[in-house]
Amino acid sequence: MANLTVRNIPEETYKRLQENARQHKRSLNAEFLELLNDRDAWALRRFRIRSAIPKLRRLRKEIAKKFPLKYEMLELIREDRESR
């Protein structure tokens, strides 16, 4: 495994990391690794979501072509909303 040395951590950040480690009953090193892993996981999720959006837009257009909304449907929806 690789090692990493982090220098010049702001005091407030260090204290917050220590407090979080204490609350989670982890060492400072384990808390830092968990923080890095969590950030990495969120970055991967954001990438996957951004990648899926164009495909979802294409699917939405295809569905709209196959099942176009007719004016009558829009009127029924509007009437239902206004009745509430």
- CA–CA dist 76, 79 (Å, integer): 5
**Residue 71 banded pLDDT, cuts 50, 70, 90:** low
Q: How many domains does the chain have?
A: 1
* Structure confidence by residue, pLDDT tens digits, 1-33: 888 898 999 999 999 999 999 999 999 999 999
User: What pLDDT sits at residue 37?
Assistant: 86
- Which residue has 């495909």 as its token pair? 55
Parent domain of 65: 11-83
Q: Is residue 2 part of a domain?
A: no
Q: How many Å is the Cα radius of gyration of the chain?
A: 25
58 lies in some domain: yes
Q: Classify residue 76 by its DSSP letter.
A: H
pLDDT of residue 52: 94
CB under 8 A, 24+ apart: contacts of 62-69: none
What is the spatial distance between Cα 29 and Cα 21, in angstroms, rounded to a whole number? Answer: 9
pLDDT at 26: 94
Assigned token pair, 82: 């206004």
